[in-house]
């Protein structure tokens, strides 16, 4: 069963990474609409009311997905100098502890994101009503951001569980001294 979860983890990581390469094109969209704003404001003295809100929304969505991407691609920040000098057996247990801490953190983050999304999508009386920006454009981008934050948190919980399962499949290699560097 653990080996099946390990294969599923690898497959999901590949999908998230491939989709992440597409998400990077959103930054080109940000540059283009930013350029449009500059031209409209300074060449035609006709500033837009939608560019700032749009770019803020696109950047926030991209950065949230970037966190999921970094975790899938194992490109997140880690301090391997602390564990690189340990024996493979000790390193495996330290990495297991880190995986368990990540699961705990992502679960708490998901709960907080859920509460924020709930407030952004429903009134206190339980009626569906999207939170809006309150600007002249008054978009529901704040609700969408909070909803996507919840979804990205759920993705991180799933990934952290799958990565932990994958780590557990490497127990025998670690105990025989075959494990290489830390998983960070």
For 108-166, write each residue's pLDDT tens digit: 999 999 999 999 999 999 999 999 999 989 999 999 999 999 999 999 999 999 999 99
How does residue 184 score in pLDDT terms, banded at 50, 70 and 90? low
Q: What Rg value do the Cα atoms of the chain yield, rounded?
A: 21
Q: Which pLDDT band holds residue 179 (cuts at 50, 70, 90)?
A: low
Query: pLDDT tens digit string along 56-74?
Result: 999 999 999 999 999 999 8
122: which strand partners?
A: 128
The answer to whether residue 181 scores a pLDDT higher than 60 is no
DSSP class of residue 73? T
**34-44 pLDDT per residue, tens:** 999 999 999 99
Domain residue spans of the chain: 2-175
Q: Long-range contacts: 115-124, Cβ < 8 Å, 24+?
A: 116/146, 116/149, 116/150, 117/143, 117/146, 117/147, 117/149, 117/150, 119/146, 120/146, 120/147, 121/146, 121/147
Query: Phi, psi (5° rounding) for residue 124?
Result: -65, -25
Output the pLDDT for position 109: 98
Spatial contact of 137 and 49, defined as CB atoms under 8 Å apart: yes
pLDDT higher than 90, residue 31: yes
CA 140 to CA 131: how far, in whole Å?
6
Return the pLDDT at 85. Answer: 87
Q: Is the pLDDT of residue 180 over 70?
A: no
């Amino acid at each position: 069963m653990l080996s099946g979860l390990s294969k599923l983890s690898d497959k999901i990581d590949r999908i998230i990474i491939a989709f992440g390469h597409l998400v990077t094109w959103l930054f080109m969209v940000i540059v283009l609409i930013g350029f449009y704003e500059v031209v409209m404001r300074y060449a035609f003295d006709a500033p837009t009311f939608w560019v700032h809100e749009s770019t803020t929304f696109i950047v926030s969505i991209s950065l949230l997905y970037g966190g999921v991407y970094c975790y899938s691609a194992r490109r997140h920040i880690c301090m391997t100098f602390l564990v690189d000098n340990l024996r493979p057996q000790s390193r495996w247990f330290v990495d297991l502890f880190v995986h368990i801490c990540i699961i705990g953190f992502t679960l708490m983050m998901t709960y907080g994101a859920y509460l924020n999304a709930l407030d952004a999508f429903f009134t206190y009386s339980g009626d569906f009503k999207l939170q809006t920006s309150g600007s002249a454009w008054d978009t529901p981008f704040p609700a969408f951001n909070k909803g996507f934050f919840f979804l990205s948190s759920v993705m991180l919980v799933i990934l952290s569980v799958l990565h932990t399962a994958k780590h557990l499949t490497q127990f025998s290699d670690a105990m025989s001294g075959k494990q290489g560097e830390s998983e960070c």
